Amino acid sequence: MKTKIKKINKIPLAYPNSSLANKTGAWRTYRPQTDYQKCTGCALCSKICPDACIEMINRNDKNIPVTYYDYCKGCGLCAAECPVKAIIMKRDY
């Protein structure tokens, strides 16, 4: 069953993960930076990201998060929820 997108005046409304269709990262003020030495690969950051711009990939038998900065809005939820504080928010210029 496909999800039907509601439209108002022929303009589609936003829906979950819709930012992957639009590059929105240019207007953020902070960007997440992951310390892969601390990261345990729990994938909580990828689950909590409202824009689904964090993907877990397997590298050297360890799952690591990769952030797609073209779509990251810099909300900081990933850094706030990281149980080992492996993600910090850095000023983005």
**Report field, pTM of the whole predicted structure over 0.85:** no
Give percent of the chain above pLDDT 70: 74
**C-alpha to C-alpha distance for 71 and 32, rounded to whole angstroms:** 12
The pLDDT value recorded for residue 52 is 87
The domain locations on the chain are 17-91
The pLDDT value recorded for residue 60 is 86
Which regions of the chain are under pLDDT 50?
1
The pLDDT value recorded for residue 1 is 47
**C-alpha to C-alpha distance for 76 and 89, rounded to whole angstroms:** 7
Q: Pull the structure tokens for residue 45.
A: 């950051």
CATH 3.30.70.20 fits 17-91, yes or no: yes
